[in-house]
Amino acid sequence: MEQKLIDDAFYVEEKKYGLWQSHHPDGKGIITSLTEEECVKSTRFYLKLKQDEKNGLKIETKTYSGEVGGKL
């Protein structure tokens, strides 16, 4: 399948069943999406977050519980 180099940072290619996958130049997969456009956008966002983490920026995450307390 044809691979397209994006931003000199990663490749995208169409896979089986019309899905799109991005991967590093070494072949390691990154993201799978339904469209090429979403694959490129999502991969850019993911790689930007990874770069920010390497540069010392802390990404804040929150965890929520779906548990409901009380008696019925």
What residues contact 48, with CB distance under 8 A and at least 6 apart?
Answer: none
Residue-wise pLDDT tens for the chain (72 aa)?
678 988 889 999 999 899 999 999 998 999 999 999 999 999 999 999 888 877 777 766 677 788 887 776
Residue ranges per domain, the chain? 3-54
User: What is the model's pTM?
Assistant: 0.71
Q: How far is CA 16 from CA 2, 21, 24, 34, 50, in A?
A: 13, 10, 19, 11, 28
